[in-house]
Amino acid sequence: MSVRRATHPITIRSPGRQAEEKWQILEPQDAAFWKAAARKLSQRTYEHKGCRISVELDWAPLGRRIIRDHNLFLPVRTGQPTEIDWFSKLDRPLKMTAHSEIEGKNDLSKHPWYAQFFVEYFIYEVFTVANLACPGAAEFLNVAIHENDSAKTTNLRLSAFYFGDWSIESLCGAKPTAKILSVDSAIAWFHAVNPHVTQKAENGTQRALYALYELCRSDGQIDFVLWLFNALESLLSTRVGENFSGVVRRASLLLRLDHKETANLGKRLRKLYDLRSAFVHGGYEIAHPLHVESIDERLNEDYGKLLELGIYGFSILAALLQAMVERNIQELRFEERLVLPNDAP
């Protein structure tokens, strides 16, 4: 059987979290996560059209880089003397190499991009598993895969901003709380939900995960709200665009919210849903695509409102996914019952 092997150079610029809040807690937490998870997230094998494709990527350098950058930046944060070249070291991209191996042949396996597709697919999976286990630990916004024989570069643009902000808000007491989960349970759950290569979602949970990728690749504009409700409605098995109360009721049930927490969930999601409806039905005030806030300061308020609500909405989606991981639920199913009075015939 033919075997084709390839290497895939990868660079990560600005690895680690980009937010400064709670760095004393979160950066050591991320370093500890990657130290424990690097080996467990280093390999995946896929079957596709008669081929067996294996991908390997050692994530240990990322954990070591997070520790190094933390130590380099610590004197700056605490007002102590710094290394002369500390900033140039921070600015230097992290270089890693992925390895792929293809056993067998099909009509696509001869193309150089074929192996790279599975490397990218693998990194998407690691992004999801890592951020569900330790929200914000996998910042892949500036991950780039370089083709060996050309100057072509693929940038993944998978931002962990919303995961990271959720973890910061949680440390400040916000609900729902971002949890640290077992990486083993997150891997097992994800592999059960997404057992083979597919680009067309085959169940509600996959649809929610694919929408989550769009959220993490978005630039925080109004389309974020559309993807958010697409994810929530897919995950909670409600009718698209027609059952807001169902989203609130089912999310509350899975998250085990009390009456007050459910009321707050409904109030805040309603604001997001109103934005969605305004955009879909033509009532939303569209801004010029240049979007220069210094020219028109009214954009600051609009963007700030959307960002605040978006962070909260994303935290609900992420908390639902974490609850499914914790309880080992691959797909949510709901039943509704009519409860009659005791004296009913």
**How far, in Å, CA of 333 to CA of 290, rounded?**
43
Q: State the average pLDDT for the chain.
A: 92
Residue 54 confidence (pLDDT) above 70? yes
Q: Which residue has the higher pLDDT, 81 or 122?
A: 122
The CA R_g of the chain, rounded to the nearest whole Å, is: 22
- Each residue's pLDDT tens digit, 286-308: 777 777 878 888 877 777 888 89
Lowest mean pLDDT among 53-57, 139-143, 289-293: 289-293
For the stretch 240-276, pLDDT in tens is 655 788 999 999 999 999 999 999 999 999 999 998 9
| Segment 165-181, tens digit of pLDDT | 999 999 999 999 999 99
Q: Rounded to an integer, what distance in angstroms lies between the CA atom of residue 118 and that of residue 116?
A: 5
pTM assigned to the model: 0.93
pLDDT at residue 176 in the model: 94
126/83: higher pLDDT: 126
How far is it, in rounded angstroms, from Cα 134 to Cα 38?
13
Torsion sign across C-alpha atoms 14, 121, 161, 321 = negative
pLDDT-based confidence at residue 277 (cuts at 50, 70, 90): confident
Residue 233, judged by CB atoms within 10 A of its CB (0-12, 13-18, 19+), counts as buried
Task: Using the predicted structure, report yes or no on whether residue 22 has a pLDDT greater than 60.
Answer: yes
pLDDT above 70: residue 343: no
Contact 153, 46 (CB under 8 A): no
Residues 184-238: pLDDT tens digits? 999 999 999 999 999 999 999 999 999 999 999 998 888 999 999 999 999 998 8
> Which residues does residue 154 pair with via DSSP β-bridges, in sequence order?
145
